[in-house]
Structure 1
Amino acid sequence: MEDNYSRSTPETIFSRPEVVGSRSRSFLANVFSYMFVALGITAVVAYFFAANADTYLVPIASNKLFLYAIIFAPLGFVLLMSFAFNRLSAPVLLALLLLYSAINGISFSFIFLAYTSGSVFGCFLTAALMFGIMAVMGYTTKQDLTSMGRLMTMGLIGIVIAMIVNWFLKSSSFDYIISFIGVIVFTGLTAYDVQKLKRIGEGIDEQGNVMSGDVKKLAVMGALSLYLDFINLFLMLLRLFGRRN
């Protein structure tokens, strides 16, 4: 006798590939929505402060304490969101992401003043194109990118160390090499992060285990990861090809 009950249980229904794929696409749509909102806030704030430099940026630049707070506050936000993830609610995490993106916009306003508007726009379009291509690759590829992700993460650590060293050396050649490697690292991380987020949306982590956790919180943190990939790719391209005023 045919077992009609086992064929219609929720476990069977929700394990179908089309259902899993729909769940993953919905999760990624939320991730990219949060990311685009954060990028939009950064762009608007950066433009506003750069357009009103005498009113806002000059006082900030003249106050070293405030200037260092603007520079290092974004790092504090990332650390807070990462280490307090389990204790913070999804709305609080989202609020922190949006506040982080606004403070980043203030930092970026100084960059907009340092480079020509044409080079900023050109590097932004290039970064968007590269990011889009790698995001599609990460989503569609059947190859496991975990090993590449580990390699890119090690490369990221190396970049941070190299940038600290070059802070003292002030070598333009070394800076060029760092920026070139940075472009490679952040394009690779984009593909890896998108694939990882796709698997989270499917309920699977990197080791193939069932992922547990608040979906909304995971979406916010996923948006943070992709936001960081994009802005760092943009900054590396700007350091390579940007024309200064």
Structure 2
Amino acid sequence: MEQYTQKNQNISGFSVDFGNKFLSKVYMWMILALFLTAIASYAILSTPSLQLFFLGNVWLVWLLMIVQLVFVVILSSKIESMSTSTAAVVFIIYSVLVGITITPVLFYYSQSTIFMAFGVSAGMFAAMSAVGYFIKKDLSAMGRFLFMALVGLLIAMIVNMFISIWWPGTAWGISFALSCLAVLIFAGLTAYDTQKIKKIGEAIAHEPSRGQNIAIICALTLYLDFINLFLNMLRIMGRNS
């Protein structure tokens, strides 16, 4: 019995250790993606000719947003069958495209507001990710609730687009409230996704060959949490600045 218990402890310890290394790898991919997104946005914002090109061709920005969606679908559905290099290239291109497509949004805010929103978002993300990592309680129920809340938020945002056409004054207040709600939702999702990714890392401890590709798709999840957290925080701070 003692030998059996010791064996289970060794297996458990190995899984936890692998899970921690896996999570570190996920964060590295996520940070790389955020860095590339920032570089792409900065390149456009600091280059007048690029500003004129992208801001003057709105159709191109919408086209790139559609391409982004295609890349997300490809990564989500084909990640297991992709080579690691292919998955990495798709993820890298996707992060650059995000940098391009969010630039028209950043153009309307001051540099100080952008940096402040990024700093607050980074702090909130780190705090909620730590909660997801250390908390013992299973956050699955919270994750399901937040997903339903996210669907409701998307529907409300679409409705608000039509309201802004007929009652622009009312739409401003609704938009602000939706941004506040979005910050809460994505902060919660950060904690939930971190816990889920930690469990995934522990679950694949004995299949290390799968780790790299799964780390990329998990990094995409946290990356999207952060980007949405940042954009909504930017809208809140932009209105208050």
> Structure 1 length as normaliser, TM-score?
0.87
- Per mean C-alpha deviation after superposition, the further-off stretch among 127-136 and 150-159 is 150-159
Output aligned runs, 1:19-38, within 5 Å. 19-38=14-33
Runs of 4+ with >4 A deviation: 11-14, 210-213
1:88 is paired with a residue whose SS is coil
- Per mean C-alpha deviation after superposition, the further-off stretch among 221-230 and 67-76 is 67-76
Output aligned runs, 1:12-23, within 5 Å. 12=8, 14-17=10-13, 19-23=14-18
- Paired letter, 1:56: L
1:139–1:194 CA contact under 8 A, matched in 2: yes
Q: After superposition, what is the alpha-carbon deviation per residue over 1:179-220, rounded to whole angstroms, capped at 9, x for unaligned?
A: 11101100000000000011011117xxxxx99982111100
Match of 2:162 in 1: 168
Flag the 1:142–1:107 CA change in 2: closer, same or farther, 3 A: same
2:215 pairs, out of 215, 219, 225, with 219
1:60–1:67 CA contact under 8 A, matched in 2: yes
Match of 2:199 in 1: 199
Matched, 1:235 2:231: yes
Q: CA deviation at 1:137?
A: 0.6
Q: For residues 21 and 86 of structure 1, what CA distance do their matches in structure 2 show?
A: 23
2:81 is paired with a residue whose SS is coil
Q: For residues 127 and 175 of structure 1, what CA distance do their matches in structure 2 show?
A: 19
Q: For residues 128 and 156 of structure 2, what CA distance do their matches in structure 1 show?
A: 25
Match of 1:119 in 2: 113
The alignment covers a number of residue pairs equal to 234
Q: CA deviation at 1:113?
A: 1.6
1:86 is paired with a residue whose SS is coil
Match of 1:46 in 2: 41
- Per mean C-alpha deviation after superposition, the further-off stretch among 170-179 and 59-68 is 59-68
Match of 2:85 in 1: 91
Match of 2:177 in 1: 177
2:144 pairs, out of 144, 150, 158, with 150
1:202 is paired with a residue whose SS is helix
Flag the 1:213–1:146 CA change in 2: closer, same or farther, 3 A: farther
1:27–1:219 CA contact under 8 A, matched in 2: yes
Q: For residues 175 and 7 of structure 1, what CA distance do their matches in structure 2 show?
A: 56
Matched, 1:129 2:123: yes
| Unmatched tracts of structure 2, length 5 or more | 165-170
Identity among equivalent pairs (%): 33
1:35–1:227 CA contact under 8 A, matched in 2: yes
Across the aligned residues of Structure 1 and Structure 2, the Cα RMSD in angstroms comes to: 2.5
| Unmatched tracts of structure 1, length 5 or more | 205-209
Match of 1:207 in 2: none
1:116–1:243 CA contact under 8 A, matched in 2: no
Q: CA deviation at 1:134?
A: 0.4
Q: CA deviation at 1:135?
A: 0.5
Q: For residues 81 and 201 of structure 2, what CA distance do their matches in structure 1 show?
A: 22
Flag the 1:181–1:213 CA change in 2: closer, same or farther, 3 A: farther
Q: For residues 29 and 183 of structure 1, what CA distance do their matches in structure 2 show?
A: 24
Q: After superposition, what is the alpha-carbon deviation per residue over 1:19-68, rounded to whole angstroms, capped at 9, x for unaligned?
A: 2221111100100000000000001111111001x311212233343232
2:203 is paired with a residue whose SS is coil
Structure number having the greater helix percentage: 2
